[in-house]
């Protein structure tokens, strides 16, 4: 009887775990995708309007965020759609330092080890 109960419990646990879409909330997902849009927009700004360091960080952060969202079970179509909404909103506008600081703080807190990973990746982009 105990074996049957444990087997059923294990099957239920595995089934429920396999359907879980991740552990971030909807609000966190939306903010993360918005920051991805910010970093993507920053990465394509003209070089004379933003510091190279900010472009390097933006490119590295985009990679780290995209990998994180994929691990959380979020499909690339959903990521790209949300990201493009933000990019379209800020296209042609100057670099937003305030939004950049806000996104840096949010992402570093949300994704464990992201600050170190982004810094490490950013140094390989332009060999900086």
Per-residue pLDDT reduced to its tens digit, 79-111: 999 999 999 999 889 999 999 999 999 999 999
CA distance 21 to 87: 26
User: Residue 87 falls within a domain, yes or no?
Assistant: yes
Domain housing 98 = 23-125
CA distance 63 to 78: 16
User: Residue 102 falls within a domain, yes or no?
Assistant: yes
Residue numbers of the chain with a pLDDT score lower than 70: 1-22, 127-128
User: Residue 79 falls within a domain, yes or no?
Assistant: yes
pTM to 2 decimals?
Answer: 0.79
- What angle (nearest 5°) sits at the alpha carbon of residue 78, between those of residues 25 and 16? 50
User: Residue 2 falls within a domain, yes or no?
Assistant: no
CA distance 2 to 78: 44
User: Residue 69 falls within a domain, yes or no?
Assistant: yes
User: Residue 56 falls within a domain, yes or no?
Assistant: yes
CA distance 8 to 25: 29
Can you give the pLDDT at residue 2?
62
User: Residue 11 falls within a domain, yes or no?
Assistant: no
Can you give the pLDDT at residue 92?
86
């Amino acid at each position: 009887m105990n074996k049957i109960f444990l087997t059923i419990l294990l099957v239920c646990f595995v089934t429920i775990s396999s359907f879980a879409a991740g552990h971030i909330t909807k609000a966190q997902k939306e903010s993360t995708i918005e920051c991805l849009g910010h970093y993507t927009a920053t990465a394509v700004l003209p070089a004379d309007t933003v510091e190279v360091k900010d472009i390097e960080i933006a490119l590295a952060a985009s990679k780290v965020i995209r990998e994180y969202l994929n691990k959380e079970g979020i499909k690339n179509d959903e990521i790209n759609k949300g990201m493009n909404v933000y990019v379209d909103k800020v296209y042609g506008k100057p670099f937003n330092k305030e939004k950049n600081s806000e996104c840096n703080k949010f992402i570093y807190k949300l994704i464990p080890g992201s600050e170190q990973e982004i810094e490490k990746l950013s140094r390989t982009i332009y060999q900086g």
